[in-house]
Amino acid sequence: MERDIARVIITQEQLAHRISELGAEIAAVYPPNEDLTMVTILSGSIVFFSDLIRQLPMKMHIGLITVSSYGGATTESRGPQLLDDLNVDVTGHHVLIVDDILDTGRTLRMVRNRMADRGVRSVRAAVLLRKTAKAPADVHAEFVGFDIEDEFVVGYGLDYNNLYRNLPHVAVLKPELY
């Protein structure tokens, strides 16, 4: 797997350090003793989500929602499709949506809108990566790990054709693989 990598963008150490900082930023925002549900957008956010929640000291509920835009061997979004809706009731809860990457923003826009329709107390979003050149102004993430260039990245949950999610760092693949 490592031989397919052209370049590491973010190392394991950088990821661990920044996620620890993000945990502190998030913990400072949420009042104790109010219901918080962390909603992970499957599948890309699984690694980031599991590391982030273990940096948070407060009690929380966990919610899952599955949205997919990049099926098969493609780097082009076909638009977000809801594959599995949220599996828990978030009425009256603070909701923190967690995703691996904010790219065109269409996934996060869709999930934010769905949460707002459910009578929640607040909705915020945390993304590990944000493509600054592409993320639209109307799709906001309150917590951002890293701003990156507009290039296709894999690893730490992000895939190409459902591979490379288990790379421990964020990387760019060799061009001949696409």
Which is nearer to ligand PRP, 37 or 49 (by Cβ)? 49
Query: To the nearest whole angstrom, how small is the minimum distance from the Cβ of residue 68 to ligand PRP?
Result: 4
Catalytic residues: 103
For residue 105, state whether it binds ligand PRP (rule: CB under 6 A): yes
Candidates 2-10, 38-46, 48-56, 169-177: pick the segment binding ligand PRP (CB under 6 A): 38-46
- Shortest distance in whole angstroms from residue 77 CB to ligand PRP: 5
The answer to whether residues 44 and 36 touch, using CB atoms and an 8 Å cutoff, is: no
Q: Tell me if 140 contacts ligand PRP by CB under 6 A.
A: no
For residue 44, give the nearest of 123, 128, 133 by alpha carbon. 128
Of 96, 101, 125, 141, the residue at the interface with ligand PRP (CB under 6 A) is: 101
- Which two structure tokens, joined as six digits, stand for 30? 């949420």
Which residue ranges make up the site for ligand PRP (CB under 6 A)?
A: 41, 43-44, 68-70, 77, 80, 99-107, 159
